Copies of this chain bind each other. A is one copy, B any other.
Amino acid sequence: MTQTVEPDANATDVAVASGPTAQERVDRWLADFEAALAARDVDRAAGMFATTSFWRDLVAFTWNITTVEGPEGVADMLRATLDSTDPSGFRTTEPATEADGVAEAWIEFETAVGRGSGLLRLTDEGAFTFLTDLRELKGFEENKGTQRPKGVAHGAFKDRETWAEKREREAAELGTTAQPYVVVIGGGQGGIALGSRLRQLGVPAVTIDRHDRPGDQWRKRYKSLCLHDPVWYDHLPYLKFPDNWPVFAPKDKIGDWLEMYVKVMEVPYWSRSTVTSATWDDAAKEWTVQVDRDGEQVTLKPKQVVFATGMSGKARMPEFPGMSLFKGDQHHSSQHPGPEAYTGKRCVVVGSNNSAHDICAALWEHDADVTMVQRTSTHIVKSDSLMTIALGGLYSEEAVAAGVTTEKADMIFASLPYRILHTFQIPVYEEIKRHDQDFYDRLEKAGFELDWGDDGSGLFMKYLRRGSGYYIDVGASELVANGDIKLAHGQVDHLTEDAVVLEDGTTLPADLVVYATGYNSMNGWVADLVGQDMADKVGKVWGLGSDTTKDPGPWEGEQRNMWKPTQQEALWFHGGNLHQSRHYSLYLALQLKARYEGIPTPVYNLAPVHHLS
């Protein structure tokens, strides 16, 4: 995970031969760094970074999510941000550790307006990786722990308002006599986590969702769906899953949790509500958001709009010739009702990623005749191997026992520079490949086309770069390997009344066709609700610019447009998996809170647009 600077193997007196301790090295670096910053000596501060080095800042210095590289990058960033940030008080929060000559330390610091934390990795050459983040704004700390609300106002007061009365009044006022400062469009885990943080920060906001109740985003998906990520990776802010929570939660259980969470965290949330349009008034610096609230037309006037519509929220429905002729059932995977109606039927599933596999397996379990159409190669990792080999160090019961809380794991994860993350990932997937060689051999023998990402860096890089192209195997791959799920290859040419015909002429008779063809970028939601001009102005959402399949360059080094300022002021994107919804909602919430309170938020390194969608 870090450089392998081997310590002197001949040293007999380690304490003496190895020089200063990790703590001493870190303390010295922090003191020197702080002195250079205090003196506004940018070159001296930048010179304390190694030639190959990465400073990732989450809102603390840059009011952006951005990574600068090497002393030059650091210098550029500091020149732009140092005066307004005015950082100080750098100190370790627990004893520094050392491995292979790299000292590692958890730190905290202050800025002019807030308090931050971070993780520093230090080599003999200087800082190698430096993560800084904003944890809270001074004077606007959350009411928790010793600052939690009292709940009851002791004393006796005429016209006392109870908690229930206050909640009722707030609900009645929201959107009528009181305007939300933020409208969050979409109430899945992303919108809920952000809504919860905004509530705790005292930012008037409303999360708007089209379903009947919170959690339906999960409940309404195909019946056999369980989370593919383990519980330790999935906690929401503030309220952790209990100790008996399943490793891979079934969709309905997650649905119930989200519904409960909205209620007990008091997230202002409109169910059965659809945003029909959003218009930006650049003169008034205000949005006009039209909402169909369970049949009633409501106009909201927020200052900020956040799209939390799901990074996989907009179904990508293909258009094949003959689809209108097909007489069986056909639908996108997101609309698939489950296998019950298809026992004994011929089912063709177009696609070979997560949804395709899950749906094929459930159909097979219900005695359907199932064919999967693999159009391009797919990356497969067995869930157990992913858990133990790829995730276990950070997100597992063992990690928790070793003191790696979810919060710490999030920070460690965030501290690994995207630029070189694939170099840490490649060996992980090489190990997985070795570990499960039999499994992969059987799959290939069955004709399944495997890949490991363009550079062999595996699943997580695919997720960050393109958000697709893989299946976390929870059982379907064995059915593919043994032929229970039949395989076909190639692109769909057209449909007939009762079959899917591939480009090579293969005809697959079908009573059901499921298009497990993935999802479009959130950019599409902007086009639908605000307009194509605005969608083009903000550009592509997601991807790092790695110049790999479906992630065109140039390099940006962060998820495009996610959780940070976009080319359109007051327009934001939020979401991702539960981990990202949890961790990055903090930074988006603080950016919104700062704007709400009128705290200056000069953005460094606002990303330019290179791609429309």
Chain A positions near chain B (C-beta within 8 angstroms) = 142-146, 148-160, 162-164, 167, 200, 223-224, 226-227, 231, 238-239, 242-250, 252-253, 256-257, 260, 263-265, 361-362, 364-367, 383-384, 397-398, 474-476, 478-479, 484
Contacts and interface: CB of A to CB of B under 8 A. Distances in A.
B144 A243 contact: yes
Contacts of A238: 242-244
A442 to B, nearest CB: 15
The 6 residue pairs across chains A and B that have the minimum distance between CB atoms = A151-B246, A163-B250, A152-B226, A144-B243, A260-B260, A164-B252
Contacts of A245: 148
Determine the main DSSP class of A at the interface with B. loop
B365 A247 contact: no
Q: Which of A158, A163, A200, A478 has the most chain B CB atoms inside 10 A of its CB?
A: A163
Contacts of A252: 162-164, 167
A160 B338 CA distance: 12
Given A253-B163, A260-B260, A264-B260, A156 B365 contact: yes
Contacts of A231: 148
B156 A244 contact: no
B200 A151 contact: no
Contact of A384 (B149, B154, B226, B243): B154
A611 B151 CA distance: 40
Given A148-B246, A149-B244, A149-B246, 15 more contacts: A149-B247, A150-B248, A151-B227, A151-B250, A155-B475, A155-B478, A156-B361, A156-B484, A158-B366, A158-B367, A162-B224, A163-B252, A164-B250, A238-B243, A256-B264
13 contacts: A145-B397, A146-B397, A148-B246, A150-B246, A150-B247, A151-B253, A152-B246, A153-B475, A155-B474, A158-B365, A164-B250, A238-B243, A242-B265
A338 B77 CA distance: 61
Contact of A151 (B152, B163, B247): B247
Contact of A152 (B149, B157, B250, B364): B250
A435 to B, nearest CB: 16
A231 B143 CA distance: 14
A362 B257 CA distance: 35
Nearest to A253: B163
Contacts of A263: 256, 260
Contacts of A153: 475
A153 B361 CA distance: 12
Nearest to A219: B164
A244 B246 CA distance: 25
A162 B257 contact: no
A148 B479 contact: no
Nearest to A397: B146
Of the listed residues A151, A248, A364, A383, the one surrounded by the most CB atoms of chain B closer than 10 A to its CB is: A151
A474 B160 CA distance: 14
A590 to B, nearest CB: 16
A247 B147 CA distance: 10
Contacts of A159: 365
A256 B361 CA distance: 39
A223 B475 CA distance: 53
Contact of A142 (B142, B163, B244): B244
Nearest to A367: B158
B242 A154 contact: no
Contacts of A367: 158
Contacts of A164: 223, 250, 252
A146 B361 CA distance: 28
A366 B367 CA distance: 67
Nearest to A236: B242
A458 to B, nearest CB: 20
A156 B478 contact: yes
A135 to B, nearest CB: 14
A235 to B, nearest CB: 11
A484 B157 CA distance: 12
Contacts of A474: 152, 154-155
A262 to B, nearest CB: 10
A397 B148 CA distance: 10
B260 A365 contact: no
Contacts of A157: 365
B265 A162 contact: no
A248 B383 contact: no
A245 to B, nearest CB: 6
A264 B265 CA distance: 15
A143 to B, nearest CB: 6
A248 B245 CA distance: 28
Contacts of A362: 160
A243 B152 contact: no
Contacts of A146: 397-398
Nearest to A146: B397
A149 B142 CA distance: 34
A223 B156 CA distance: 14
Contacts of A155: 474-475, 478
A340 to B, nearest CB: 11
Contacts of A247: 148-151
